[in-house]
Amino acid sequence: MSYRESVIYQIYPRSFADSDGDGIGDLQGIIGKLDYLAELGVDILWLSPIFQSPNADNGYDIADYEAIMPEFGTMADFDALLAGAHQRGLKLILDLVVNHSSDEHRWFQESRRSKTNPYRNYYIWQSPRPDGSPPNNWQSFFSGPAWKLDEQTGEYYLHLFADKQPDLNWEHELLRQEIYQMMRFWLDKGVDGFRMDVIPFLSKEPGFPDYPEGRFGDLTIHANGPRIHEFLQEMHREVLARYTAYDGTPLITIGEGFGVSAGQANLYVGENRRELGMIYHFDHAVPREEYRFLNPAPELTLPELKAIFAGWNKALDTTDNVPDPTGPGWQNVYFGNHDNPRVLSRFGEPDGFHDESGMLLATVLLTQRGTPGIYQGDEIGMSNCPFASVSEFDDIQVKNAYRELVEKGGGSASKFLTVANRIARDHARTPMQWANVPGAGFTTGTSWLKVNPAVAQVNVVAQQQSATSVLSYYQKLLRWRKQTPAMHYGTYRDLLPDHPTLWAFERNLNGVRYVTVANFSGQASVLPPGLAGTAVLGNYNSMTSELQPWEARIMTPN
Ligand code: GLC
């Protein structure tokens, strides 16, 4: 089954299932849940990084690309996980983090030794300006300048993320060959593809100019550098084109499209480009630059959210466009991942209509065009976790922003806490809620990040016992989607783009039509004329001419 007909499930291994009681999720823990995932009905598992790492950014700082993080297990555990997934018809993709490594990677250890070290050019080194300051005014995603002075050689190295995440130098041919070799190592083992971390960042602006006037700190500047497509086409030629998924279908490749606009997307994923299979965008992600922790962006309105989805469908799909030499492209659609707060807390109503709004979000996501990605826990309706103090957060982004904005900048600590409780990435990273027992069924020890107290009401065991739970609804929807080709290949048309609380869209595959209608509100709403039809699936039993609070239904139109 092609990835275009599949659904992805993202696992954040640190928080999924802990088999040995150390409070940290691990590979044996995931193995123990493979039956759960197969029963859920997803097709592709994406594992956030599982490699050796000092965990400055929870595994997104890799010290050895070919070794498993000891806290997660061994290579034998990995082999067993991969085999176990394939036995159940599940594909497995890894996180490819090659914009940067850890500063504890042996390449960087060598690189920083001297200006003539053979590994020097694996990273990006620049001399200070005459006054000793950094080579330019670029900012790091995790606060402060993107350059750090290394005393040993008196030069600065670039780190667009934490200073423990030095950027790799893709201009250097030998580095690129090392990366390709490492990718072959995992593909030869049989993994089915990669999710590619901040892949649009690989090619840097030559000459390292300051931010253009008026765009200081605009981190999207670092995306889409001049050689990015050359690098990805080379990667495709040298690696990706030579492999398939284990069942012979195309390899799965997903670019994390930070800084890529809808109009640029097909340059990465257009069928004729020979680069990537899918991309996922940030247009509906929660903006989280440092200053946002005191000045958060207002949440998107429903018309804004719908416009983003419609715009991306239009941009990727050339069928109703002038013929496009890139060919049509494909996207990975999602509502949540490990970099965003919980979708239920953003667009649903976990307190009043937990189950209804959880199912509504499932309905909208799983009837989209594109390959949907479910983030772990969304299938039971996990919501944001109430953090009582800044010390309860783990994420380096929160800690660094707090240091800069509050400790150094004198900003309001209570405002910061309120905002972090809305936008922080930690909300997605609290332990998976398996059962209402101490440790949430995630661990028998003390979990590395606090358990969301909502576990008392929201957990897998309780939902497995109920045919009307959010989890059961996901299972039903996933089974239905799998056997409904219009959900995979049908066109997408927004039927009510301006409606403030209804999201209604049609999928149409050669005249086979389905309409999804979803009421994003706690008030009942009249079903607009023209939207009547025969219900196929929905989150309420009796589907009347009125939409109930948070009701969602899929219909075949009359
Ligand atoms: C990506 C990851 C994020 C990480 C960053 C640096 O955005 O998804 O979790 O912090 O890259 O690797």
Rounded-to-integer distance, Cα 82 and Cα 88, Å: 10
| Distance between Cα 198 and ligand 1 center (Å) | 7
Lowest mean pLDDT among 197-201, 272-276, 539-543: 539-543
Centroid of chain to Cα 181: 25
Percent of the chain topping pLDDT 70: 99
Rg (CA), the chain: 23
Binding-site residues, ligand 1, Cβ < 6 A:
57, 60, 97, 161, 197-198, 256, 338-339
| Distance between Cα 519 and ligand 1 center (Å) | 33
Q: What is the longest distance spanned by two Cα atoms in the chain? A: 75
Question: Which of 142, 164, 197, 340 gets mutated to test ligand 1 (max ligand atoms within 8 A of its CB)?
Answer: 197
Spell out a b/e string for 87-98, using b for 16 or more CB atoms within 10 Å of the CB, else e: eeebbbbbbbbb
Question: Which amino acid residue places its CA nearest to atom 5 of ligand 1?
Answer: 60
126 by Cβ neighbours in 10 Å (0-12 / 13-18 / 19+) ranks as: middle
Rounded-to-integer distance, Cα 515 and Cα 456, Å: 35
**pLDDT attached to residue 323:** 59
Residue 319 has pLDDT above 80, yes or no: no
Rounded-to-integer distance, Cα 475 and Cα 481, Å: 10
Question: Which of 14, 161, 396, 429 gets mutated to test ligand 1 (max ligand atoms within 8 A of its CB)?
Answer: 161
Residue 364 has pLDDT above 80, yes or no: yes
Question: Which of 11, 53, 60 gets mutated to test ligand 1 (max ligand atoms within 8 A of its CB)?
Answer: 60
User: What is the amino acid identity at position 465?
Assistant: Q
Pairing of strands 512-519, 502-509: antiparallel
Ligand 1: which atom is nearest the Cα of residue 57? 10
- Find the Cα–Cα–Cα–Cα dihedral 308, 313, 315, 320, rounded to 10°: -130
The per-residue DSSP string of 22-63 comes to SSS--HHHHHTTHHHHHHHT--EEEEPP-EE---TTTTSS-S
Residues 365-375 have a mean pLDDT of: 98
**What are the beta bridge partners of residue 57?**
none
pLDDT tens by residue, 394-411 = 999 999 999 999 999 999
Residue 322 has pLDDT above 70, yes or no: no
User: What is the amino acid identity at position 518?
Assistant: A
Pairing of strands 491-494, 502-509: antiparallel
- 327 or 140: whose pLDDT is higher? 140
Residues 258-274 have a mean pLDDT of: 94
Ligand 1: which atom is nearest the Cα of residue 161? 6
Question: Which of 14, 100, 198, 281 gets mutated to test ligand 1 (max ligand atoms within 8 A of its CB)?
Answer: 198
Question: Which amino acid residue places its CA nearest to atom 7 of ligand 1?
Answer: 198
Beta carbons within 8 Å of 264's beta carbon, 6+ residues apart: 224
**pLDDT attached to residue 164:** 98
Question: Which amino acid residue places its CA nearest to atom 6 of ligand 1?
Answer: 60
Ligand 1: which atom is nearest the Cα of residue 339? 9
Catalytic residues: 197, 256
- Residue of 557, 518, 556 whose CA lies nearest to 540: 518
| Distance between Cα 390 and ligand 1 center (Å) | 21
The per-residue DSSP string of 332-384 comes to EEES--TTS--HHHHHS-TTTSHHHHHHHHHHHHTTSSSEEEEETTGGGT---
| Distance between Cα 368 and ligand 1 center (Å) | 25
What are phi and psi for residue 121, nearest 5 degrees?
A: -80, 5
Residue with tokens 């400055």: 56
- Residue of 445, 471, 452 whose CA lies nearest to 25: 445
pLDDT tens by residue, 454-512 = 999 999 999 999 999 999 999 999 999 999 999 999 999 999 999 999 999 999 999 99
**pLDDT attached to residue 318:** 64
With vertex at residue 187, the alpha carbon angle to CA 333 and CA 90, rounded to the nearest 5 degrees, is: 50
| Distance between Cα 100 and ligand 1 center (Å) | 10
Three-class SS string for 210-273?
CCCCCCCCCHHHHCCCCCHHHHHHHHHHHCHHHCECCCCCECEEEEECCCCCHHHHHHHHCCCC
Query: Alpha-carbon torsion 332, 333, 338, 339, what sign?
Result: positive
Q: If pLDDT is split at 50, 70 and 90, which confidence band does 183 have?
A: very high
**Mean pLDDT score across all residues of the chain:** 97
Ligand 1: which atom is nearest the Cα of residue 338? 9
Lowest mean pLDDT among 44-53, 248-257, 350-359, 527-536: 527-536
**pLDDT attached to residue 151:** 96
- Residue of 330, 418, 344, 415 whose CA lies nearest to 375: 344
Tokens of 310: 């419609």
Q: 503-511: long-range contacts at Cβ-Cβ below 8 A with a sequence spacing of 24 or more?
A: 503/302, 503/305, 503/306, 503/364, 504/528, 504/531, 505/306, 505/309, 505/367, 506/557, 507/367, 507/369, 509/485
**pLDDT attached to residue 541:** 86
Tokens of 450: 């606090």
Ligand 1: which atom is nearest the Cα of residue 396? 10
Question: Which amino acid residue places its CA nearest to atom 2 of ligand 1?
Answer: 197
Residues 143-159 have a mean pLDDT of: 97
